């Protein structure tokens, strides 16, 4: 897949939104700040709340406690991820407002124009997904990483876990990496092409729960999504 050169730099934010995005350093600072707030603040607040519940409700101290599944990885992920998205949305809106534009315009929250273009990207996404699955099978790996299988096995609420993994996490990550960070870095000497590579590398590194093979797949997915963002 060919990415645009520096002469076709993103964002066509100015064309698509009527308002330029923040510069590279401001975008990086906002992205790091939002990531830290969502990861640390939400974890501390919700974690502290879960730890304090037994003191408020002594019956929860008895074992087995109904609280036990929610303080394990699957339960915490089910609670923390939607909460991080809600907090992140507030912060993303603030970033856009400070720049003098709307949330939808700044983060290009819109359907792609042209039925043919949409069909091509959907087909490309399908091909990429099939190729990744075939590669996993051909190397003797399960279709789902063990970490993901463990989450669904031990989830106290499958619907809530589904919302966290399939809805909340992707929205949060796309707004952070392709919505905020990528357009800002593309306004630097990196240009669009290398900004896609850099943001995809960071995107893969934050998924440290995966093994190197799966992190490489995450990197490839990041490049694909980045290309879709800048084209």
Q: Is the Cα dihedral 16, 20, 24, 25 positive or negative?
A: negative
pLDDT digits (tens, 9 = 90+) for 61-105: 566 666 777 777 888 889 889 999 999 999 999 999 999 999 998
pTM: 0.83
pLDDT at 57 over 80: no
The answer to which of 2-16, 150-164, 181-195 has the lowest mean pLDDT is: 2-16
pLDDT at residue 15, as a whole number: 45
Q: Give the pLDDT band (50/70/90) at residue 231.
A: confident
Q: Do 175 and 88 form a contact (C-beta atoms < 8 A)?
A: yes
DSSP state of 65: -
Closest CA to 141 of 77, 212, 224: 212
Q: Give the pLDDT band (50/70/90) at residue 109.
A: confident
pLDDT at 55 over 70: no
Structure tokens at 6: 């520096």
Place of tokens 């009527």: 18
Give the phi and the psi of residue 9 in degrees, each rounded to 5.
-60, 145
pLDDT at residue 41, as a whole number: 79
- Strand spans (E) along 110-224: none
CB count within 10 Å of CB 74 equals 22
| DSSP secondary structure of 54-90 | HHHSGGGGSSS-TTGGGGSHHHHHHHHHHHHHHHHHH
- Determine the Cα–Cα distance for residues 14 and 82; give it in Å rounded to an integer: 31
pLDDT digits (tens, 9 = 90+) for 152-179: 888 899 999 999 999 999 999 999 999 9
């Amino acid at each position: 897949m060919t990415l645009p050169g520096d002469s076709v730099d993103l964002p066509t934010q100015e064309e698509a939104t009527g308002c330029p995005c923040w510069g590279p350093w401001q975008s990086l600072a906002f992205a790091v700040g939002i990531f830290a707030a969502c990861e640390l603040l939400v974890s501390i607040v919700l974690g502290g709340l879960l730890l304090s519940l037994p003191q408020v409700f002594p019956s929860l101290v008895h074992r087995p406690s109904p609280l036990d599944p929610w303080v394990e990885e699957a339960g915490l992920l089910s609670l923390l991820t939607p909460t991080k998205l809600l907090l992140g949305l507030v912060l993303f809106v603030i970033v856009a407002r400070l720049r003098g534009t709307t949330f939808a315009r700044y983060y290009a929250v819109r359907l792609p124009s042209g039925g043919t273009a949409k069909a091509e990207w959907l087909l490309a996404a399908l091909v990429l997904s099939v190729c990744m699955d075939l590669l996993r099978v051909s190397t003797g790996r399960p279709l789902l990483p063990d970490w993901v299988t463990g989450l669904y096995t031990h989830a106290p609420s499958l619907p809530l876990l589904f919302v966290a993994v399939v809805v909340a996490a992707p929205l949060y990550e796309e707004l952070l990496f392709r919505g905020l960070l990528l357009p800002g870095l593309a306004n630097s000497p990196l240009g669009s092409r290398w900004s896609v590579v850099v943001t995809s590398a960071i995107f893969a590194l934050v998924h440290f729960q995966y093994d190197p093979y799966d992190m490489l797949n995450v990197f490839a997915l990041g490049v694909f999504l980045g290309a879709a963002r800048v084209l």
